[in-house]
Structure 1
């Protein structure tokens, strides 16, 4: 049995952290679904930037849209949704079979909207309508200034992937926003089944501290944070508050492991995937990590609901001078800035491609 199938049988969903038109055109995504138990995917501006830059597959579509007067974010949204609709259709069987728990695809909205609840909600609803697929999640950052937008989006029935979470406290704040949105729907007689995932970033922790901690602590901070967060997740699912919502028909906001590719060349490529094997979660993997795990990964045990030795490990990091609470907020801020930079790069790429394929734009420049 493939290790990817073992994770599936454990109760963990595997989503691909990638999308491109060639991946759809050449049948690779279909093969990942059929052979490697992939049951969803995530996208981000960097992924689309690389896909558009690295292939001519988008040129004709960009040309047509540019000639129709589309540009910038509007053109990108149309372009991205062409891919994501196709992917959503491939995952529709898993979506239906899992009763909406699995089979999702994700699209990020502009970071320029962050902090503005009204415009974020408007954009999220627009993406949902444009996509015209029930299994598309809109990515909204789980920063303090965007929690109200997350709650309002859930209340409005917009499925949300809460991204840029880095610790238990970030996760609990995102979960609270989700719960309030569902409670408001129930109070107003609305269907409580609104899909959502909470994405915790893992490997970036170790990138931040590996060069300043003892060798025996390398690549262990992200997993300690994940264990601590998983414990909070399990406790929430066991809470009376959640049980009341579940009894009313609500579905859980699933915990998703993000950034699970190993960044340390001396570490195993499958380090995080193997350690984060946990029931009722999602692991979203870059292509090279998926392939490495499928070829040589092993599953020895699943993550304990109490996070095992997370607190003891965090105490060791504290002794080494790592303030994980302060670092969590730093990583979220750095992630936000990286997202903004990636979005700007993507918009520049769209403009470059538009000019390259549309003679009228070249003349204008």
Structure 2
């Protein structure tokens, strides 16, 4: 039994943090599903920028959409939804078999809306409706504006993947927003079964403090934050408040580990996957990390619900001068800014390829070779 199967049987879902047309056309994604127990995937602007801007896999589709009068953001979302609905169809059996708990794909709203609650709500509702896909999450960042948007999107019945969460406190704010949305649906007599996941970014913590802490603390901050957050997550779903929600038919908002690829070449390429083994969670990992874990990863232990050793480790980081609260906010801002830059790069690539497609179409219509 390989390590991915062991994680799956532990109760952790393995999702791929990637989507490309080549993955779909080649059958690689389906192979990951069958051989590595992959049961979902996530996407973000950086992933699509690399897939569309740096390959020719989308050029023919872009030419056709330009011919049909599409451009810019609208053209991109058509491409993305085409890919994601194909992937969602592969995972639909898992979605059906688990009653909607697993088998999801994710599409992010424009990162330019990170500080625009009203715009995020409108985009989330519109994108989900246009996709007509039951197992598609709309990704909303856990920024202050995003927290309001999460509640409203859930109340509107839109499944939400909360992204760019870095700390227990940010997770709790997102989880509370989800609960408020569900509570409002219950109060309005609406179906409370609106799914959500909350994505905690892990390895970026260690990159942020690299070279700033003693060697003994190297690459230990992200895991300590994850353990602290996992404790809060399990406590929430052991509470009387959650029992009342469950009795009404609500689904748990699952905790998802993101940014689980090793960024330090001096640690194992499966370091974070092995450290984050925990039931009732999701690990979404880059393709390189997935293949590495399938090849030589090990299930070496299971994360404890009580957050064992997390607070001691975090105290040591505080003694080393690391302000966890301030750094969490900084990482969230940096993450939002990074996605904005990727979005702009993506829009530039779409524009460049659209112009090229238009020129190619004009040439052919004029009878030129």
Residues 1:62 and 1:219: Cα distance change in structure 2 (over 3 Å): same
Residue 128 of structure 1, CA deviation: 0.7
Residue 360 of structure 1, CA deviation: 7.0
User: In the alignment, is the contact (CA less than 8 A) between 2:53 and 2:346 conserved in 1?
Assistant: no
User: In the alignment, is the contact (CA less than 8 A) between 2:14 and 2:37 conserved in 1?
Assistant: yes
Question: What is residue 302 of structure 1 aligned with on the other side?
Answer: 302
1: CA distance, partners of 2:135 / 2:62: 25
Count of paired positions: 363
3-state SS of 2:124 partner = helix
Residue 252 of structure 1, CA deviation: 0.4
3-state SS of 1:315 partner = helix
1: CA distance, partners of 2:332 / 2:54: 29
Question: What is residue 148 of structure 1 aligned with on the other side?
Answer: 148
3-state SS of 1:211 partner = coil
Question: What is residue 3 of structure 1 aligned with on the other side?
Answer: 3
Please give the root-mean-square deviation of Cα atoms over the aligned residues, in Å. 1.2
Question: What is residue 342 of structure 1 aligned with on the other side?
Answer: 342
1: CA distance, partners of 2:28 / 2:340: 30
Question: What is residue 318 of structure 2 aligned with on the other side?
Answer: 318
Unaligned runs of 5+ in 1: none
User: In the alignment, is the contact (CA less than 8 A) between 1:354 and 1:361 conserved in 2?
Assistant: no
3-state SS of 1:277 partner = coil
Residue 361 of structure 1, CA deviation: 8.9
Tell me the TM-score normalised to structure 1 length: 0.98
3-state SS of 1:305 partner = coil
1:137 aligns with 2:134: no
2: CA distance, partners of 1:21 / 1:15: 17
1: CA distance, partners of 2:328 / 2:119: 27
3-state SS of 1:145 partner = helix
Q: Deviations over 1:243-284 (max 9, x none)?
A: 100111000000000000000010100000000000100000
Q: Mapping of 1:43-192 within 5 angstroms?
A: 43-192=43-192
2: CA distance, partners of 1:361 / 1:343: 26
Residue 119 of structure 1, CA deviation: 2.1
Tell me the TM-score normalised to structure 2 length: 0.97
Residue 43 of structure 1, CA deviation: 0.3
1: CA distance, partners of 2:237 / 2:48: 34
Residue 161 of structure 1, CA deviation: 0.4
User: In the alignment, is the contact (CA less than 8 A) between 2:114 and 2:336 conserved in 1?
Assistant: no
Q: Deviations over 1:305-356 (max 9, x none)?
A: 0111000000111111111111001101111111111110110111111112
Residue 357 of structure 1, CA deviation: 2.0
Q: Which moved more, 1:345-354 or 1:47-56?
A: 47-56
Question: What is residue 204 of structure 1 aligned with on the other side?
Answer: 204
Residues 1:315 and 1:113: Cα distance change in structure 2 (over 3 Å): same
Q: Deviations over 1:161-197 (max 9, x none)?
A: 0000000000000000000000000111111110100
1:359 aligns with 2:359: yes
Question: What is residue 249 of structure 1 aligned with on the other side?
Answer: 249
3-state SS of 1:102 partner = coil
2: CA distance, partners of 1:250 / 1:115: 29
Q: Mapping of 1:285-300 within 5 angstroms?
A: 285-300=285-300
Question: What is residue 15 of structure 1 aligned with on the other side?
Answer: 15
3-state SS of 1:212 partner = coil
User: In the alignment, is the contact (CA less than 8 A) between 2:201 and 2:257 conserved in 1?
Assistant: yes
Question: What is residue 35 of structure 1 aligned with on the other side?
Answer: 35
3-state SS of 1:191 partner = coil
Residue 40 of structure 1, CA deviation: 0.2
3-state SS of 2:103 partner = coil
2: CA distance, partners of 1:226 / 1:115: 26
3-state SS of 1:103 partner = coil
Q: Deviations over 1:55-74 (max 9, x none)?
A: 22211110011111211110
